[in-house]
Amino acid sequence: MAELFLGFTSGPGGFRKYVVIKRILPDVRDNAQFERMFLDEARITAAFNHPNIAQVFDLGQEDDGLYLAMEFIAGQNLNQITGACLRRHEQLPIGFTLSVARDVCMALHYAHTFIAPSGEPSPVIHRDVAQKNIMVTYDGVVKLLDFGIAKAKGSLERTSAGTVKGTTGYMSPEQVRGDKLDGRSDLFSVGVMMHELITGARLFAGKNERDEMVKILEAPIPWPSHVTPHVPEAVSKVVMQALERSREKRFANGRDMARAIESAAGHLLMDSDHRASMMKELFAERMAATRSLLESAEGTANSAMVDKAKRALRADDGPYLPERVDDSTPQGGVASVPRKQPRRGPAKGAGRQADVADTAKTEAKDSRLSNVLWGLFLLSILVGGAYGAWRLSQVLNATVEADPNPKELQKFDSKLPVFREPGMPEPDAGSAVAQVKVEPTPPVHEDKGPKTERPTEAPVRGKGKLTLVVTPDADVYRGKKKLGRTPMFNVTLPVGEHKLFIFGPDKKKRVLSVPIQPGKTEKLRLALKEIPEG
């Protein structure tokens, strides 16, 4: 219903504050309903003052219609964040999802229990909580957006009988039925969002809006811990309580749900610093584009930079979460009854019988072909296994001559890089490079024949990456240098075996050996107590 622009207000001494200008689209400016919704949004959110709700600064009218001046948020919404993870073939960290959901619940609790400046209770129901309306800034702050269709006491806009408003796949059952809503409707939407981000698939996706509404009312809901086994059962229980179709069985309010998330998640929760680190990793290019766009407002960026920034910001946000294909039979909660399979009645008409016969023939043909392929596959395994056993016996029976001059093993492998503990002096410049001492080989005969030397082994070159998650959070050192604080994502390291020093809340030094391979990412998720002290 609206279009957005980037704007700013300036003042003495170089003062500048960036805002978003929101205007009703030209083709609906004469629509009285849209205008009332626009005024509702301004009136409702202008009074809000919560860190997790986007603010409205001003409402005005120009020759071309009404406008809102809103908080400028440099960040990405949850659809864009999941799309970035899918492009990298990575799963959104569960700690990220849980922390975002916790902050959204607190923002909703503020809106649901809002007290007007006059002292009169003025609760606001959002009615459109979905990934598209939740942003995470590049600094890791969660923002709930778009109260454009919110239902507030005394709102100007009235919903007509027989109509529903919201994003269909995220509506509550009572919202689909057109019943009177309270804050627990928004909590159901948060449950849908959590389920999708945790399992990596849409929950109520359908062919059309009607199909999605029917699924919201009737379709079984699988437990997240059954779809994604690494999800703690306590977290899964919170999600399923939020998704109860009977609102009386859900959490009483957003604050209770936020506390339940904190209790179930424990050390998994990401704080704003961790979220900011992940956002910078995922959206480095878009962050640079945003900076260029802001510089253009100050007149310090050329047109080529601005055009490049606009292209980067308009890039495709996909891929999006896929539709869930396997409706696993849930356990308890709102979805304890498995999905009923459609009953197949007798075929009607000659055409239908012919179709069934053709299908049966095709299935039989496919079955015979499948049996032949499986037979060939098993035969190849037997032949390969027999050859492998024969070859192994030849190797084991071979005569092995002992080395006439065995050497003692060194106490350490000189090929591995050596790193010092925090606070210790740095090693020599060449000590971290793989070196092999050149030694003469023993004489071939008893006489003084020529001696040959082994060639110097070349150092291993190249770089790889390390993603390390340690719970609880810990500081990570490589030698004297601090690599950062966990969770760390895609930290570039030289190829080789690295000895890392881990310092958790207990201040004890723990030692972790990490192999880094060229061009690959080593991913580790450990509990602090699993890392040996050193």
The model's pLDDT over 125-155, given as tens digits with 9 standing for 90+, comes to: 999 999 999 999 999 999 999 876 555 444 4
Per the domain annotation, does 452 fall within a domain? no
Per the domain annotation, does 467 fall within a domain? yes
Per the domain annotation, does 495 fall within a domain? yes
The reported pTM is 0.61
CATH of the domain at 129: 1.10.510.10
Highest averaged pLDDT of the listed ranges 32-41, 112-121, 242-251, 375-384: 242-251
Identify the pLDDT of residue 195: 97
Q: Which one of 260, 282, 304 terminates a domain?
A: 282
Domain count, the chain: 2
Query: In the predicted model, is pLDDT for residue 245 greater than 50?
Result: yes
Structural domain span for residue 515: 463-530
Compute the mean pLDDT over every residue in the chain, rounded to the nearest whole number. 77
Query: In the predicted model, is pLDDT for residue 467 greater than 70?
Result: yes
156-200 per-position pLDDT tens digit: 444 444 445 568 899 999 999 999 999 999 999 999 999 999 999
Q: What is the largest CA-CA distance in the chain?
A: 108
Query: In the predicted model, is pLDDT for residue 5 greater than 50?
Result: yes
Please check whether residue 168 is in contact with residue 213, taking contact to mean a CB–CB distance below 8 angstroms: yes
CATH of the domain at 474: 2.60.40
Rounded mean pLDDT of 1-28?
83
For the stretch 392-427, what's the b/e string if a residue is b when 16 or more beta carbons lie within 10 angstroms of its beta carbon? eeeeeeeeeeeeeeeeeeeeeeeeebebbeeeeeee
Per the domain annotation, does 168 fall within a domain? yes
Instruction: Lowest mean pLDDT of 65-74, 191-200, 218-227, name the range.
Output: 65-74
In which element (H, E) is residue 143 found? strand 142-144
Rounded mean pLDDT of 477-481?
88
Rounded mean pLDDT of 353-382?
54
Identify the pLDDT of residue 319: 77
How far is the C-alpha of 177 from the C-alpha of 194, rounded, in Å?
23
Active-site residue list: 128
Per the domain annotation, does 36 fall within a domain? no
Please check whether residue 464 is in contact with residue 449, taking contact to mean a CB–CB distance below 8 angstroms: no
Q: Which one of 282, 299, 332 terminates a domain?
A: 282
Highest averaged pLDDT of the listed ranges 91-95, 318-322, 503-507: 91-95
Report CA torsion sign: 63, 69, 135, 85.
positive
CB proximity list for 224: less than 8 A, separation 6 or greater: 194, 195, 198, 199, 231, 235, 236, 239, 240
Identify the pLDDT of residue 382: 65
Query: In the predicted model, is pLDDT for residue 252 greater than 90?
Result: yes
Identify the pLDDT of residue 300: 65
33 or 111, greater pLDDT: 111
CB proximity list for 95: less than 8 A, separation 6 or greater: 265, 268, 269, 270, 274, 487
Instruction: Lowest mean pLDDT of 42-46, 87-91, 273-277, 415-419, name the range.
Output: 415-419
Instruction: Lowest mean pLDDT of 11-25, 75-89, 215-229, 390-404, name the range.
Output: 390-404
439-463 per-position pLDDT tens digit: 444 554 444 445 444 444 445 568 8
Q: Grade residue 392 by pLDDT with cuts at 50, 70 and 90.
A: low
Q: Which one of 282, 310, 337 terminates a domain?
A: 282
Percent of the chain exceeding pLDDT 90 equals 36
Rounded mean pLDDT of 326-345?
39
Query: In the predicted model, is pLDDT for residue 480 greater than 90?
Result: no
Identify the pLDDT of residue 373: 63
Query: In the predicted model, is pLDDT for residue 87 greater than 80?
Result: yes
Identify the pLDDT of residue 336: 34
Please check whether residue 457 is in contact with residue 436, taking contact to mean a CB–CB distance below 8 angstroms: yes
Per the domain annotation, does 147 fall within a domain? yes
Cα angle 415-417-420, degrees, rounded to a multiple of 5: 145
- Identify residue 181 by its one-letter amino acid code: L
Per the domain annotation, does 316 fall within a domain? no
Percent of the chain exceeding pLDDT 70 equals 69
300 or 337, greater pLDDT: 300
Query: In the predicted model, is pLDDT for residue 56 greater than 60?
Result: yes
Rounded mean pLDDT of 22-33?
78
Per the domain annotation, does 202 fall within a domain? yes
Identify the pLDDT of residue 14: 76
